[in-house]
Structure 1
């Protein structure tokens, strides 16, 4: 479980390996800690607002790819804290929109983080597109930057289609309208465990996790 400050994992000093996750969202730290626990059981993942860490400013996500934005965040966190830093950037890419919203997914409607407005705008833009032509994918880039300057990035992808309307109350963002390939349900209709088993973020961090024991040694 996470503390109110976002520290996740075994207490420091108990054989723990400390790393920082470039987010101020403790729930995200819990989610990613769970993805990494099997590979690095002694990892203590700290969110940026943990009081044991120096204050860090906001990073402008000016990259034109998910990998570029993930690296911008991880580099800033590693430089500020002197710790190994993890970060991710993700979004949805719609075929008929040429891969948009892409890196603009979180601010597609013009207001960063307004999930309802972002989803409503995207569905309105696709209102006349037949379901069979609504191919889309969730894409995630997971990055690790080490204090010695080494960098690793891995991608995860979940293909599917966008439904005509939102269904289900689970997940967040575009989840209620995204139906993974081979599924009749949207991500919004799946349990958290079901979603985590197939998600783009889980796939990206699963690949990264296999390298972490050697990289963090």
Structure 2
């Protein structure tokens, strides 16, 4: 059994990772599982890649084990790709996503159609015990909806509208979302890269 630490305290992310990579010989554990919740990780990178590597390396330096970390966020073209790498901290880390989502909708009140284009980006970084770093990136294109819709998903999912599906990512079933999501794509690519190593 290979244990992989996921450098996150976000249970929703842990759930998605376990749903996407179904392997009996890999055990994904969170920072909480490992008693590492109090480790301070300073995400001061300018890109998703830099932040994902910072997170993974910080935990790998402490544990000496395989660590993966993701950095993901929403890029809204009308807002010059904001909130981007600041997605989790946008309007303050403790601000509820309903407030963040409705704020973005308000900022786009004059935008129509393709002007509302946006994407979810996810970068996964994996740090191996020998210090080798592997990264993968996944994206999904969509638009900002006109109101929050859907009870599934989390974060910005209720306002991320997929024209080809006619719904937001929060209206998709977890299985359908994982098949097309930015995290699903980045994780699947990472899994393929790790297959020869694990």
**Fold-level similarity (TM above 0.5):** yes
Instruction: Tell me the secondary structure at the aligned position of residue 210 of structure 1.
Output: helix
User: Distance in 2 between the 1:115 and 1:202 partners?
Assistant: 21
Higher Rg:
1
User: How many angstroms does 1:119 deviate by?
Assistant: 0.8
TM-score, length-scaled by structure 2 = 0.92
**Which residue in the other structure is 2:176 paired with?**
194
CA RMSD after TM alignment: 1.7
**Which residue in the other structure is 1:98 paired with?**
80
Segments of 5+ residues of structure 2 without an aligned counterpart are none
User: Distance in 2 between the 1:165 and 1:203 partners?
Assistant: 26
Counterparts in 2 of 1:215 and 1:159: CA distance versus 1, 3 Å: same
Verify the 8 A CA contact 1:139 1:157 in the aligned structure 2.
yes
Number of aligned pairs? 198
Instruction: Tell me the secondary structure at the aligned position of residue 140 of structure 2.
Output: strand
Segments of 5+ residues of structure 1 without an aligned counterpart are 1-15
**Which residue in the other structure is 1:210 paired with?**
192
User: Distance in 2 between the 1:104 and 1:112 partners?
Assistant: 13
User: How many angstroms does 1:150 deviate by?
Assistant: 0.3
TM-score, length-scaled by structure 1 = 0.85
Deviation >3 Å, runs of 4+: 53-56
User: How many angstroms does 1:27 deviate by?
Assistant: 4.1
After TM superposition, list the pairs within 5 Å mapping 1:124-163 onto structure 2.
Answer: 124-163=106-145
More deviation, 100-109/21-30: 21-30
Q: Given the alignment, which residue of 14, 25, 28 partners 1:42? A: 25
**Which residue in the other structure is 1:24 paired with?**
9
Indicate whether 1:116 and 2:98 are aligned: yes
